[in-house]
Structure 1
Amino acid sequence: MGEDKEKRTLTYLERLKQKAISQENYGGEVKAEEAKMEVRDCPECGAGRAFRQGLTACAYCGFKFMNTRLTDGVHIKKENNS
Protein backbone atom coordinates (compact mmCIF):
# COMPACT_ATOMS: atom_id res chain seq x y z
CA MET A 1 0.00 0.00 0.00
CA GLY A 2 2.88 2.40 0.81
CA GLU A 3 4.46 1.79 -2.60
CA ASP A 4 1.22 2.64 -4.42
CA LYS A 5 1.08 6.05 -2.73
CA GLU A 6 4.65 6.87 -3.73
CA LYS A 7 4.14 5.80 -7.35
CA ARG A 8 0.77 7.41 -8.03
CA THR A 9 0.58 10.79 -9.69
CA LEU A 10 -0.57 13.82 -7.75
CA THR A 11 -4.06 15.15 -8.25
CA TYR A 12 -4.58 18.65 -9.57
CA LEU A 13 -5.47 19.93 -6.09
CA GLU A 14 -2.38 18.36 -4.54
CA ARG A 15 -0.15 19.95 -7.18
CA LEU A 16 -1.75 23.37 -6.51
CA LYS A 17 -1.14 22.97 -2.78
CA GLN A 18 2.52 22.05 -3.36
CA LYS A 19 3.00 25.01 -5.70
CA ALA A 20 1.41 27.41 -3.17
CA ILE A 21 3.67 26.14 -0.39
CA SER A 22 6.87 26.34 -2.46
CA GLN A 23 6.32 29.74 -4.11
CA GLU A 24 8.19 32.85 -2.98
CA ASN A 25 6.77 36.31 -2.35
CA TYR A 26 6.89 38.65 -5.32
CA GLY A 27 9.55 41.26 -4.61
CA GLY A 28 11.35 39.21 -1.97
CA GLU A 29 10.81 38.70 1.70
CA VAL A 30 8.51 41.07 3.55
CA LYS A 31 10.02 42.79 6.59
CA ALA A 32 7.78 42.97 9.63
CA GLU A 33 7.66 46.53 10.97
CA GLU A 34 5.61 48.11 13.70
CA ALA A 35 3.01 50.65 12.64
CA LYS A 36 4.13 54.24 13.05
CA MET A 37 3.07 57.77 12.27
CA GLU A 38 5.46 60.40 11.05
CA VAL A 39 4.15 63.77 12.21
CA ARG A 40 5.87 67.10 12.49
CA ASP A 41 4.38 69.92 14.57
CA CYS A 42 4.71 73.52 13.47
CA PRO A 43 6.89 75.40 16.00
CA GLU A 44 4.95 78.61 15.33
CA CYS A 45 1.27 77.57 15.69
CA GLY A 46 1.52 73.94 16.88
CA ALA A 47 -0.50 72.50 13.98
CA GLY A 48 0.24 68.85 13.31
CA ARG A 49 1.25 68.01 9.76
CA ALA A 50 1.97 64.64 8.20
CA PHE A 51 5.70 64.53 7.55
CA ARG A 52 6.58 64.36 3.89
CA GLN A 53 9.88 64.97 2.19
CA GLY A 54 9.83 68.48 0.82
CA LEU A 55 7.46 69.99 3.39
CA THR A 56 8.62 73.62 3.38
CA ALA A 57 5.80 75.69 4.93
CA CYS A 58 2.92 75.28 7.38
CA ALA A 59 -0.43 75.28 5.60
CA TYR A 60 -2.14 77.02 8.53
CA CYS A 61 0.11 79.92 9.58
CA GLY A 62 2.63 80.07 6.72
CA PHE A 63 5.69 79.41 8.92
CA LYS A 64 8.59 78.34 6.69
CA PHE A 65 10.31 75.16 7.89
CA MET A 66 13.13 75.69 5.42
CA ASN A 67 14.04 78.35 2.95
CA THR A 68 14.85 76.97 -0.46
CA ARG A 69 16.63 78.98 -3.06
CA LEU A 70 16.87 77.79 -6.64
CA THR A 71 20.12 78.29 -8.46
CA ASP A 72 21.32 77.36 -11.92
CA GLY A 73 21.50 73.63 -12.31
CA VAL A 74 23.24 71.45 -14.83
CA HIS A 75 20.23 71.18 -17.16
CA ILE A 76 17.85 73.87 -15.85
CA LYS A 77 18.77 77.54 -15.87
CA LYS A 78 17.01 80.47 -14.25
CA GLU A 79 15.01 82.65 -16.60
CA ASN A 80 16.30 86.14 -17.12
CA ASN A 81 13.58 88.77 -17.39
CA SER A 82 15.64 91.32 -19.28
Structure 2
Amino acid sequence: MNYRNLYDEIIAGLPDDVRIDDYAVGRPWTYMRSGGLVGICMTIPAYTRPRLRKESFLGCSLREAGEYVRSLQGQ
Protein backbone atom coordinates (compact mmCIF):
# COMPACT_ATOMS: atom_id res chain seq x y z
CA MET A 1 0.00 0.00 0.00
CA ASN A 2 1.36 3.41 -0.87
CA TYR A 3 0.70 6.52 1.21
CA ARG A 4 -1.90 7.87 -1.23
CA ASN A 5 -4.01 4.75 -0.74
CA LEU A 6 -3.66 5.18 3.02
CA TYR A 7 -5.03 8.74 2.78
CA ASP A 8 -7.92 7.47 0.62
CA GLU A 9 -8.81 4.84 3.22
CA ILE A 10 -8.66 7.30 6.12
CA ILE A 11 -10.77 9.89 4.27
CA ALA A 12 -13.35 7.28 3.26
CA GLY A 13 -13.88 6.55 6.97
CA LEU A 14 -14.51 10.19 7.91
CA PRO A 15 -18.15 11.18 8.39
CA ASP A 16 -19.46 13.83 6.01
CA ASP A 17 -22.03 15.14 8.50
CA VAL A 18 -19.56 16.03 11.28
CA ARG A 19 -18.39 19.64 11.06
CA ILE A 20 -15.38 21.52 12.42
CA ASP A 21 -16.46 23.73 15.34
CA ASP A 22 -13.11 25.31 16.15
CA TYR A 23 -9.48 25.14 15.11
CA ALA A 24 -6.23 26.99 15.65
CA VAL A 25 -3.03 26.83 13.62
CA GLY A 26 0.09 27.67 15.58
CA ARG A 27 3.69 26.65 16.06
CA PRO A 28 4.44 23.90 16.76
CA TRP A 29 0.87 22.54 17.06
CA THR A 30 -2.45 22.76 15.23
CA TYR A 31 -5.67 21.67 16.91
CA MET A 32 -9.22 21.03 15.70
CA ARG A 33 -12.44 20.48 17.67
CA SER A 34 -15.64 18.91 16.41
CA GLY A 35 -18.31 18.43 19.07
CA GLY A 36 -16.68 16.42 21.85
CA LEU A 37 -13.78 15.31 19.65
CA VAL A 38 -10.39 17.04 19.57
CA GLY A 39 -7.44 16.36 17.28
CA ILE A 40 -3.92 17.77 17.27
CA CYS A 41 -0.99 17.54 14.88
CA MET A 42 2.36 19.18 14.31
CA THR A 43 2.30 22.30 12.19
CA ILE A 44 4.79 22.31 9.35
CA PRO A 45 5.72 25.96 8.73
CA ALA A 46 6.41 25.59 5.01
CA TYR A 47 4.60 27.51 2.30
CA THR A 48 5.68 26.06 -1.01
CA ARG A 49 2.50 26.73 -2.97
CA PRO A 50 -0.61 28.92 -2.81
CA ARG A 51 -3.32 28.05 -0.30
CA LEU A 52 -5.97 25.77 -1.75
CA ARG A 53 -8.74 27.06 0.50
CA LYS A 54 -9.04 30.78 1.08
CA GLU A 55 -11.97 30.66 3.53
CA SER A 56 -12.05 29.36 7.09
CA PHE A 57 -12.43 25.67 7.89
CA LEU A 58 -15.14 26.47 10.47
CA GLY A 59 -18.25 24.51 9.51
CA CYS A 60 -16.30 22.42 7.00
CA SER A 61 -16.95 18.65 7.19
CA LEU A 62 -14.18 16.40 8.42
CA ARG A 63 -14.22 14.61 5.08
CA GLU A 64 -13.83 17.85 3.11
CA ALA A 65 -10.93 18.90 5.36
CA GLY A 66 -9.36 15.49 4.77
CA GLU A 67 -9.54 16.06 1.02
CA TYR A 68 -7.41 19.18 1.47
CA VAL A 69 -4.83 17.21 3.43
CA ARG A 70 -4.67 14.62 0.66
CA SER A 71 -4.30 17.33 -1.99
CA LEU A 72 -1.20 18.55 -0.15
CA GLN A 73 0.31 15.11 -0.65
CA GLY A 74 0.59 15.56 -4.42
CA GLN A 75 -2.79 14.42 -5.68
TM range (shorter): under 0.3
Name the structure, 1 or 2, with higher relative contact order (CA <8 Å, separation 6+).
2
Q: TM-score, normalised by structure 2?
A: 0.21
Structure with the larger helix share: 2
Higher-Rg member (1/2): 1
